[in-house]
Amino acid sequence: MQYGFTSSIAAFILSLFILLCISFFIAINTGTIKVSFIQLLKGLFVEYNKDVASIYQIRFPRVIVTMLVGCALALAGLLFQVVLKNPLADPGIIGISAGAQLVSLLVGIFLPDLYTIKPLLTCLGGLITFILIYSLSWKSGLKTTRIILVGVAIHYTLTAIISFIESISSSISSSVGSVILYTWNDVQLLMIYILPILIILCFLTKACDLLGLEDRTLLSLGIKVNFYRFILSLLAVLLCSISVSISGILSFVGLLIPHLSRLFVGNKHSYLIPTSGLLGALVLLIADTLGRVIIAPYEIAPAILMSLIGGPLFIVLLKRSSVHES
């Protein structure tokens, strides 16, 4: 019985990967320039093709950035929900994304030459915001409801500061999530920072499962609860901040994808982590592709489409979820 359940989940994860590959080809082939799959392979590996070269230089980076950002944000949301034991936890809602975006904006204005270490500086902004949220939430202990409420307040405060800076700096692009104009340098930066975190996460699936238990139970078993919470929180902040440094703020990805993944594969994190990563990449890629075709030749930012979907679904989650305190 267990073997059959495991096999069905493995088949589902494999089907997600195949669907992501199909969506990748559709995405890179959406636009004025179109090539067949055979032409694409020939142009990439056999002989030069002008159309394939254009797709490779313009669309490939955009699509890969979209998938990496979607994967990272979905996993960041999943980790925050594990750490806070709250199904409504999300790096965008609790202010981590806004803190990272503020630092990213300031680096772009005052230190534009530090592009290669911009993700690191943005991570610092995310970490400072996370520490600030925890500090302001402390009152004879930490309660997840208070953390989220403080995070929401900080989110709106930082968003107002970001809007003010952008309003007086016409040369600065908007912080609304977008994955439109990116190069292979952006892909390389994301790969350098995100892939090691994904590898580390593969060894922390059991820790994620354990944190679903009561703290008293874990402490009685000699498990270092606070240590694992710190590590998972750090990884979540890094994933979120790195994504924001490249693509800006993309709301609701970290909230919606973990919930959808649980519906498909349950609560075991050895299945939940790869499913959330693949599904996050797939959903954001579909949103970006739809944004390019709905009102072509104009584009709708994927953040707008995600908010249109995420807003109503967030209300549903509020109604159905019993927000509990740890």
CATH number of the CATH domain containing 234? 1.10.3470.10
Burial 79-114 (b: 16+ CB within 10 A, else e): bbbbbbbbbbbbbbbbbbbbbbbbbbbbbbeeeeee
Is residue 139 situated within a structural domain?
yes
E strand or H helix that includes residue 282: helix 269-293
SS3 164: helix
Is residue 228 situated within a structural domain?
yes
Is residue 284 situated within a structural domain?
yes
Residue 172 has pLDDT above 60, yes or no: no
- pLDDT attached to residue 69: 95
Q: How far apart are the first and last CA of the chain?
A: 34
Is residue 12 situated within a structural domain?
no
Is residue 24 situated within a structural domain?
no
Residue 80 has pLDDT above 70, yes or no: yes
Domain limits for position 250: 65-319
Structure confidence by residue, pLDDT tens digits, 283-292: 999 999 998 8
Q: How many domains, the chain?
A: 1
Is residue 44 situated within a structural domain?
no
- pLDDT attached to residue 24: 94
Who wins on pLDDT, 315 or 157? 157
Of 224, 191, 190, 206, the closest CA to residue 272 belongs to: 206
Structure confidence by residue, pLDDT tens digits, 46-67: 888 888 888 888 889 999 999 9
Who wins on pLDDT, 142 or 191? 191
Is residue 40 situated within a structural domain?
no
Residue 88 has pLDDT above 80, yes or no: no
Who wins on pLDDT, 177 or 275? 275
Computed over every residue of the chain, the mean pLDDT equals 84
Cα distances from 302 to residues 44, 158, 249, in angstroms, run 28, 22, 10
Structure confidence by residue, pLDDT tens digits, 221-232: 778 887 888 899
Is residue 13 situated within a structural domain?
no
Task: Kindly state the average pLDDT of the residues 125-134.
Answer: 90
